[in-house]
Each structure stands twice: as structure tokens, then as C-alpha cells.
A and B are shown apart, each in its own frame.
Chain A
């Protein structure tokens, strides 16, 4: 027989510990993950630009290779175009801790 009060207490403790763990993750490792993701995305964007530049008006590779690679890149095309064409300024960089 388990005491429902104890079970409830343990559940809440677990939830709190999980919440604190997530907050620590957010304050420490999360930014590293974001930075790595940004680096990876930049490389991917460069690759897609080289191969599918004509989608943005920059013809670079012959269409043969473009067509061979198209099925693999298709799922990312919309996000890539939006990301490449999104207006940016210096305030976009202000997501880092400098106060």
C-alpha cells in the first residue's frame, strides 16, 4: 500500500526537479546548442544556395545536378527561402547576454 500523500509529494518533487533541471539547461547549455545549430544552418544554407541558387535568381550549377538533389532538399526549401530572404538588422543579434 502506498500512501497517496507521499506519492503526491514524490510526484511534485520530481516535477520540481525536472523544472529546475530544464531552467539550468536553458541558462547553460541551451545557448551552446543554439550556436551549433546556427553554424550548421549556415553551412546548409550555403550548400542549398550553391545548388539551388536559381530559386533566388542566382544560377550556379547546371540543372542536371539540381534535379538529382531536389528530392533531398525539397523539405527544407520553404524554410531556407524564408530564412535567406528575411530582413535582418543589428537588433537581430541582440539575443545574447550583455547587460
Chain B
């Protein structure tokens, strides 16, 4: 198998999926009508409801759905071998991913731009709305845990990274000042800030700088509590402080300009990596297995005797692979972005497929590229054992950085710069998401608890509560279990979205099997994955021998998993009742 061939396979998936399957369903079932006024036109307020050009909306949708999920998920899923991961990315997108994104837009457009909260209330049950909101809150918390651990490990394990990240943040603030206060031209601002950001990343690679940050991290055997090292503790704390500023400062002052500069760092990295991969066109390394084993046990697939830390089995391929890769194949968050954001800006109904389906297929391409960073990027230079040792050391971000730097080296970017660049790239992707997550959590807690406890309406208090909860998840538990739970909460939202669309299609007398079957698959798969995770974490606690932080983390993870299972079962019961109701009332299928 060749890497370029794999990308071409991805393109073929896009061509068939988008060109034939998606277009056919769009034409025969949804039947978009450009003469109908969309909510963007009907309720135009220049803010939430504003018609936008389809290309602009495509860029907006893609940027909103493609972040760290499609990059980290495939890298972790390689534990079962590259073939199952590749197949799930392609077929998951083909049969479920685009269906969910596109149909969520259509549902929003045809139902007056109502949000999913209101639609859940109407189509399923009043408590479905509350369940959705709790899914969102846990999803946000788990994002903080999963991404926080990644960023913490990345900053502490590579002393060439922190300065680059800090400088990009500083440059981002400068970009905000230049754009909003000094009213400078955006192109000039972009050129100046991006060049400065690159210089900053390069400065981080200097020996004296690296020595300084290595001294901050200290020695790996300095323990703060349980098994949490001083380096992990300190860097996570720094990350949380950054998140605090991102959550309380005006969005134009902090989050937006930093995200803007980070976008260019990320985009240029992806571009250079893709071009490098085409020039390089390596074959898959012979020792990198297409399939390892059913439990994703790396040490059963290769000799782990030379690796300092052991890496255990992740669990059965079904269902865990299907929640490990969420974004990149199917992601519930997309449905919320599609219904609350995109559907209210769609100029014509016929644009929905290009925007929703097209952006999802593009994300699939990104996920395939991320998979290749592990398989050929790391595999060719370090072999399968190299991948295993990076994963064992908790350096999932390291896998991506090594792979990307290897790809970029074929367009002339030296590995000495490419490696920290890849790490800064991934750290920025995570950080730019994390402070938005804390913002959301603050708003969510104010909405949930603000009336009963007015203190939650205070910006600083709400943010601090969100940060304390996040710190608890970051400093305790096992990363891979948090990641699986994060995928689980995400996929439950995807199930809910597919369910809503199914009920809506039934109410309209349209064919609904193309959304009902994906719903059933995602619902059962996710429930089983959560059940397995709960059993795993609780049995680890009961077996004893875990340090205190892991005990706390496992109990927390188990409690979240149990809550999600119960909530999903209630949702499933309500959905069944709604299904029966709509089935008895629905007009004949069109």
C-alpha cells in the first residue's frame, strides 16, 4: 500500500460518496427548493440570520468542524492497525458522517432555524432537551480533560515547544490590537504576525531556550501527588491560566485574533505536509501491521521489552474504534454547528449539500492525512516500534509532530524545525479550542444554576468552577479512557441528531431508513462502548494498586460513563415512544 494511493482512495470515497450517494439522496428525498425562503432570508437580522455565499459558508463550516478530533482520533485508532481505522474513516463518513451534518442543516432550514434544544423538546420529549444539554456539558468537560492532558504532555516533553506557543499567543494579541484598535489592513496584519510567529517557533528551538524550559519542567521523578509529576502539574496549570484569560476577556481581544494566527500556522503545516507526502509518496512500512489484534493490544503485536512504560490493550475493536475516531468519521458536535450556525446562514436550500456534505468529506480527507502521519510519517522513520514507544510514553501529539515533520522535510523544511513546529501546531489547535470550551462551560453553568445560585452568573466564579473541574479531569485518570468517553458523549449527540432527523423525516412522510439505520448503529455502539469503559475503570479501582490520582480519575470517569448510559437509555425510551407516535401518524412515504 502506498500513502499517495491511500489519499487517492480517500478522494475516490469523496467522489462516490458526495457525487453519487449524497447527491442522489439530496435529489430524491430532501428535494431542495430554491424558491423557498430560507430562515436566513426570512428572519434576516444581520447577526444570527444572515444569508451567506455558499463558498464562504463552506469555509466557515469546515473550520468549525475540523479541529483536533480528526487528527488525534485516527492516531490513537492505529492501535488496532491502520486498516480498520482507514475503513471506519471512509465508510463512517460515507454512510453516517455527511448524512448527519447535511440533514441537520436541512432540518434547521425547514424548521425555521430552530436550535436542536428546541427541536429535541418538540420531536422527542421535554426531558430530551435537558439530556442534550447535559451531554453537551460532559462533552465540554471531557474535551478539557482529553485536550488538557495532550497539551500538558506536549509542553513538558518537548522544551522546544513552549516558547513558540507563548510567542504565537503574544502575536495573536498583537494581531487583535492591529486589526481592531489600529485599524490596520488585514493582509498586512496577517503577513507581519505570521512571519513573527514563525520566528517565535524557531527561537524556541535554540539550546539556551530549551534548557530554560527543561529546568521549569524539572526531573520526571519529581512527584506532586499520586503519579502526577511536577512537569505535568506545572504545565497543566499554565494551560489553565491561558484558558482563564481566553474565557473571561472579550472574544475580540483574546480568542479570535489568536485563533486567526493559529489558523495560518495550522493551514501552512497541513499544506506543506500534503505536498511533502505527494513528493515523497512512500509505501507503508512492512512492519506496520494493517491489523494488530481485536483488542488493540500493541504489546501483543510487537516486542515491548525495550519500552520503558508498558502500553495496555485499549479494548475490543467494536465498539471502541467507533468512538475513538469520532470527528473525521462522525461527530455529534457537527450537528449542533450545522443547525445553530450554518442553517441560519444558508442562502438557498440547494447549498446545504455542498456546505454540510462537502465540508464533512473534506474533514475525512484531513483524518486520512492524520492517519498517514502515524503510519508512514512515524512508521517509515522509526518503524512500528517507534509508534508504540511514542504512544507508551503518552506522546500522541508526538506521533503527529514526528509524522508531520517527516512529511514536511520533503518540501525542504528541516526536521529540527519541523518537529517543534508540528508540536506547536497541535498544541495551538488544542489550546484555541480549550478556552472556548471554558467559555461555554461558564455560560452553561450560569444557565443551569444561575437562577438558584446567582454566584454562577459571575464571570470569574463560573470560569473558576469550570477550570477546577477541568483540572480534576486533567490531573487524574487515564488519558485513553477520557478520550473514549469524550468520543462517547460526542457520538451520543450524533445519535440524537440522527434520531431527530429520522423523526422529522417520518413526520414529513419521507424515506427515513438512511438516517434510522445510522442512528441505531451509533446508539448501540456508543452505549456498549460506554458500558465497557465503565466496567474497565471500576474494575481497575476494585483491583487496587492504583495511585490515588488514578483512583479519583477512574471513579470520575466511571460516574460520567454511568450517567451517559442512563441518560441515553431514557432518551432511547422517549425516542421509541416518539417513533411509534410518528409511525402511526405519518403520511405515506414520498
The answer to whether B251 touches A91 (Cβ under 8 A) is no
Cβ–Cβ contact B65 & A89, under 8 A: no
Per the bound structure, the CA–CA distance linking A39 and B256 in Å amounts to 14
Q: List 18 A-B contacts (CB under 8 A).
A: A23-B55, A25-B59, A26-B56, A26-B63, A28-B260, A31-B256, A35-B251, A79-B45, A90-B440, A91-B118, A91-B133, A92-B340, A94-B333, A95-B336, A95-B340, A97-B65, A97-B337, A99-B327
> For A92, what are the chain B residues with a Cβ–Cβ distance below 8 Å?
48, 115, 117, 340
Q: Which 3 A-B pairs have the closest CB atoms?
A: A26-B59, A95-B341, A94-B336
Q: How many chain-B residues does the 8 Å CB contact rule pick out?
A: 60
Query: What sequence of 0s and 1s flags, for each residue 308-344 of chain B, a beta carbon within 8 Å of any chain A beta carbon?
Result: 0000000000000000000100010110110111100
**Residues 6-29 of chain A, each 1 if its beta carbon lies under 8 Å from chain B, else 0:** 000000000000010011111111
Counting CB contacts under 8 A, is B60 at the interface?
yes
Q: Are A27 and B60 in contact (CB under 8 A)?
A: yes
Q: Is the CB of B117 within 8 A of A26?
A: no
Whether A82 and B45, one on each chain, are in contact in the complex, defined by CB atoms closer than 8 angstroms, is yes
* Contact A27-B256, Cβ < 8 Å, known A37-B47, A98-B437: no
Which of chain A's residues have a CB closer than 8 A to the CB of B69? 99
Q: Which of B174-213 contact A (CB under 8 A)?
A: 179, 186
Which residues of chain A (36-86) have a CB below 8 Å from chain B?
Answer: 36-39, 41, 79, 82-83
A94-B440 Cα distance, complex, nearest whole Å? 9
With A26-B56, A98-B67: A90-B45 Cβ-Cβ less than 8 Å: no
CA distance A75 to B336 in the complex (A): 31
- Determine if B436 is an interface residue (Cβ-Cβ < 8 Å): yes
Which residues of the other chain, A, contact B522 by a CB distance below 8 angstroms? none
Which of these, B44, B63, B118, B443, contacts A27 with CB under 8 Å?
A: B63
A27 near B62: Cβ-Cβ < 8 Å: yes
* Residue contact B260 to A91, C-beta cutoff 8 Å: no
Residues of A within 8 A of B60 (CB): 26-27, 30-31
For A5, what are the chain B residues with a Cβ–Cβ distance below 8 Å? none
Tell me which residues from 44 to 84 in chain B have a Cβ below 8 Å from any Cβ of chain A: 44-48, 50, 52-53, 55-69
Interface of B is mostly: helix
Find out whether the CB atom of B436 lies under 8 angstroms from the CB atom of A98.
yes
Since A25-B59, A91-B115 are in contact, a sample of 15 more A-B pairs with Cβ atoms closer than 8 Å, ordered by chain A residue number, is A19-B55, A23-B55, A26-B55, A26-B56, A27-B59, A27-B62, A35-B252, A90-B440, A91-B133, A92-B340, A97-B64, A98-B433, A98-B437, A99-B66, A99-B68
Given A93-B340, A99-B67, answer yes or no on A23-B252 (Cβ-Cβ < 8 Å).
no
**Is B444 in contact with A90, judged by CB distance below 8 angstroms?**
yes
What's the least CB distance linking B522 to chain A, in Å? Answer: 16
Closest-CB distance, B70 to chain A (whole angstroms) = 8
Question: Is the Cβ of A93 less than 8 Å from the Cβ of B440?
Answer: yes
In whole angstroms, how far apart are the Cα atoms of A24 and B259 in the complex?
14
Q: Is the CB of B44 within 8 A of A87?
A: no
Alpha-carbon distance between A93 and B464 when the two chains are bound, in angstroms: 20
Contacts of A22 in B (CB 8 A): 53, 55-56, 59
In whole angstroms, how far apart are the Cα atoms of A25 and B327 in the complex? 23
Cα distance, A1 to B53, chains bound together (Å): 35
Chain A residues with CB under 8 A of B63: 26-28, 31, 97
Residues of B126-169 at the interface with A, using a CB-CB cut-off of 8 Å, are 129, 132-133, 136, 140, 143
Query: B589 on the interface (CB 8 Å rule)?
Result: no
A37–B52 alpha-carbon span in the complex (Å):
14
Chain B residue, CB-CB nearest to A80: B45
Min C-beta distance of A42 to chain B, whole Å: 9
Which chain B residues in 249-266 approach chain A with CB under 8 Å?
A: 251-252, 256, 259-260, 263
Q: Is the CB of B133 within 8 A of A87?
A: no
Given that A19-B55, A32-B260 are known contacts, is A90 also in contact with B447, CB under 8 Å in the complex?
A: yes
Q: Once the chains are docked, how many angstroms separate the CA of A94 from the CA of B52?
A: 18
B245 is an interface residue with CB less than 8 A from chain A: no
Cβ contacts under 8 Å, A29 to chain B? 186, 260
Counting chain A CB atoms within 10 Å of each CB, which of B47, B116, B252, B433 scores highest?
Answer: B47
Question: Is A79 a contact partner of B337 (Cβ separation < 8 A)?
Answer: no
Cβ of A96 under 8 Å from chain B = yes
Contact B52 A30 (CB under 8 A): yes
The answer to whether B59 touches A23 (Cβ under 8 A) is: yes
A31 to B44, CA, bound (A): 17
Q: Give, as a whole number of angstroms, the nearest-CB distance from B141 to chain A.
A: 12
CA distance A88 to B256 in the complex (A): 24
